Chains A and B, each alone.
Chain A
Amino acid sequence: MGVGIQVENLNAWYGNTHTLQDINLHIPANHATALIGPSGCGKSTFVRCLNRMHETNPIARATGTIRMGDLDVYKDASPVEIRRRVGMVFQRPNPFPTMSIYDNVASGLKLNGFRNRRILDETVERSLKQAALWEEVKDDLKKKSGASLSGGQQQRMCIARALAVDPEVLLMDEPASALDPVSTSKIEDLIFQLKSQYTIVIVTHNMQQAARVAENTGFFLNGKLVEFDSTHKIFTNPRDKRTEDYITGRFG
């Protein structure tokens, strides 16, 4: 089951660029939340702050408080511990090229030292089923390399890989931007299925996608969270003029 995320006064920098400014919001548990905004607005930085991935870049830093359930992300645990509880799906499918499909999906467990074969088998099957990939790959799980799948299949395998560690939160950074329309709709169906069990945060530049999958939507602009509300409200009756300009396509 997912947990809610409370963000207070989050600020982030890349070198001297102030990429996130005073972000405050509450992401409810077991719902999908979409983050929209023009490129470079800080939405990707924001999700990378949630699992402390932005720290992997030596020039990046962040201040503020993020609470995931009862856990203070920046105080109570190391980045490694946080990331074990938060799954992440990236913009482009990034399978491990030297591993089979099975090992790709099991990697989060195996690389963390999990050795129980029976549970590994079960988990790989469960995750691939959740990612709606099981039927397509079940016959050559250990024979085929993860990199030999098609782009859409690779992305669903990456989702399965993220789900295999049984996370509470699933972050998706433009998960369909590199995919064709058919694969995109499969990913969207998937998000729709998964959001009852996980807290999903999805970054997208595709507003229709946000409207289709998310209950809540946040609009980022120039490092600020302009507006955060129910998706219905954002798309039909935004409070802020800038949100309206963006969703009606009137943005510079």
Chain B
Amino acid sequence: MNKLPMNQPKPSAINTLRRQGMNHLVTVLSVLSTILVLAPLVAILVYLIYKGASSLNLAFFTHIPAPVGEPGGGMANSIVGSGVILLLASLMGIPIGIAAGIYLAEFGRGRLLANAIRFTADVLNGVPSIVMGISIYSLIVMRQKHFSALAGGVALAIMMVPTITRTTEEMLATVPHAIREAALGLGVPKWRTVLSISLRTASPGIITGCMLAFARVAGETAPLLFTALGNQFWSFKLNEPIAALPLQIYVYAISPYDEWHRLAWAGSLVLIVMIMIAVTLVRIFANRGVLKGAS
């Protein structure tokens, strides 16, 4: 290969230059776009920490909102309210999601029904959260004639199900078939094999999926607008309107008062920190899971 065939044109210098130039241009462009994408993230985080941290104080975590015009006040009831709604949502969404994932991975392999359910779950995952909100409003709030924490919990639970279902299925699929056979061969019933062997082996990944679903709905506002509604006071009853952190941030953000804007920033910072903690825990779990799978 030390001679080019006669009939093949020699690459011209200009052509090479053009190709090299194009190559460099694309490299620069892709680096630039990465910077452009990361810039808003950094901007948002920096601004959030700057604005939020300066408005955070102990009262934020211990007080309920102050009336208009009065300084001070906090979001204690919103933080607790978010906790209540998320607990309700997790209690409903996580078991159903995991069970559906178990069906897809352990009972439905290769069946048409399972494929249809898998596809529906993926599509449901993309249904806008506001649609969930008005559906649950139509189902629960219109019937009961009042807004409630329960309605908010159901709306968020429905949003958690498809994510958890799909992660559970994917994680169960990584459990080697030989391990299931070992348990079945010992005369362990299938239900016990699924719960004690498959599910337990896949548990790091499944926990990851649940945390991701949790983190995702923790910041949701739209499904709560017409279900949980929000509340300026303490409320622990499931059939009454309840405050939630994202709702309160929204109300304060579009209000005309500076004091409330400050609280909105503080609330956002708290919300983000809570979600970040969840996501970071997920990362740690996921990494542990990977190591376990390799051994």
Known A98-B201, A148-B295; judge A112-B179 contact (CB<8 A): no
Nearest A residue to B107 via CB reads A58
Whether B189 contacts A162 by the Cβ 8 Å rule is no
Nearest A residue to B182 via CB reads A94
B189 to chain A, nearest CB (A): 5
Chain B residues with Cβ below 8 Å from A56 are: 180-181, 184
Stretch at the interface among A78-86, A185-193, A214-222: A78-86
Cα distance, A92 to B186, chains bound together (Å): 16
Nearest B residue to A84 via CB reads B187
Whether A80 contacts B187 by the Cβ 8 Å rule is yes
Size bracket of the B interface: 20 to 34
Chain B residues with Cβ below 8 Å from A246 are: none
- Interface size for A (C-beta < 8 A) is 30
Whether A108 contacts B187 by the Cβ 8 Å rule is yes
Whether B187 contacts A53 by the Cβ 8 Å rule is no
Chain B residues with Cβ below 8 Å from A147 are: 295
Chain B residues with Cβ below 8 Å from A148 are: 295
Chain B residues with Cβ below 8 Å from A108 are: 186-188
Whether A94 contacts B181 by the Cβ 8 Å rule is yes
B200 at interface by CB-CB < 8 Å: yes
Whether A90 contacts B185 by the Cβ 8 Å rule is yes
Whether B188 contacts A162 by the Cβ 8 Å rule is no
A67-89: CB near B (< 8 Å → 1, else 0) gives: 00000000000001111110110
B176 at interface by CB-CB < 8 Å: yes
Q: A111-B183, A148-B295 are in contact. List 7 more A-B contacts (CB 8 A).
A: A51-B185, A56-B184, A87-B186, A98-B200, A107-B186, A112-B187, A147-B295
> Can you name 12 A-B residue pairings with CB atoms under 8 Å?
A53-B181, A53-B184, A53-B185, A87-B185, A87-B186, A94-B181, A95-B182, A107-B186, A111-B183, A111-B186, A112-B187, A145-B295
- Mark B residues whose CB is within 8 Å of A: 110, 176, 178-189, 192-193, 196-197, 200-201, 203, 292, 295
